[in-house]
Amino acid sequence: GKTEEQSMVSSPVPGNIKMRRCGYCMVKQPMRAKHCQLCQHCVRRYDHHCPWIENCVGEKNHPLFIVYLSVQLVVLLWAWYIAWSGLHFEQSWDWLQHNIFLLISFLLIVIFTIVDLLLLISHLYLVSCNTTTWEFMSHHRISYLKHSESENPFDQGVILNLWRFFC
């Protein structure tokens, strides 16, 4: 059988692309791996370094990151519902003084919900294309992508991409 490195090299990208050696760890990096400057280690199928979880999102935890964003969205929508149900608008200065905290909370919840929803949608889009945030943002600088004949050599169709990612 093939070794893990051989199976990583035999992917739908040009055969003249060789495995890189990380300039920091000095290990051979499989395709789609990247060294994270913040974590100080190489990550397989690197997506991004997330400040919310203080860790890299990569091959082993990317599906859990999607679950994290989904659960966060559910909690924010629940908080939005609770905050909205507490608002009973009246046009008086006294009402505004007593409800300013609730109004500010509601505004923050709406902003965080929009941010989380946009993150979740963008990640689900990238997963459906079988690409990573790093590959999407740095396509022109990544050797195995800029020399590739197709725009995304890893894309195998939406259904198969989602199946391989989540299953």
> Pairing mode, if any, of strands 41-43 and 34-36?
antiparallel
Residue 29 in any domain: the answer is: no
Residue 95 has pLDDT above 90, yes or no: no
pTM: 0.78
Report yes or no on 69 lying in a domain: yes
φ/ψ of 45, rounded to 5, equals 45, 55
- 44 within domain boundaries: no
With a cut of 50, say whether residue 108 has pLDDT above it.
yes
Residue 103 lies in a domain: yes
Does 89 have pLDDT greater than 80? no
* Residue 145 lies inside a defined structural domain of this protein: yes
Predicted confidence (pLDDT) per residue in 130-146, tens digit:
999 999 998 888 878 88
Of the chain, the percentage scoring pLDDT greater than 90 comes to 52
Is 50 a catalytic site residue?
yes
Residue 132 included in any domain:
yes
pLDDT at 18: 65
Please check the confidence at residue 97 and state whether its pLDDT lies above 90: no
Average predicted confidence (pLDDT) for the chain: 85
CA distance 144 to 150: 11
> Which range marks the domain in which residue 113 is found?
59-164
Q: Considering its fold, how many domains does the chain have in total?
A: 1
The answer to whether residues 69 and 77 touch, using CB atoms and an 8 Å cutoff, is: no
In a domain, 84, yes or no: yes
**What does the block give as tokens for 115?**
């941010």
Q: What is the DSSP letter of 141?
A: G
Separation in Å, CA 133 to CA 48, 81, 137: 6, 32, 6
Does pLDDT of 40 surpass 80? yes
With b for 16 or more beta-carbon neighbours within 10 A and e for fewer, the 81-110 pattern comes to: eebeeeeeeeeeeeeeeebeeeeebbeebe
Task: Specify if 148 maps to a domain.
Answer: yes
Active-site residue (options: 42, 50, 129, 167) = 50
Q: How far is CA 45 from CA 26, 58, 95, 110, 154, in A?
A: 18, 5, 53, 32, 12
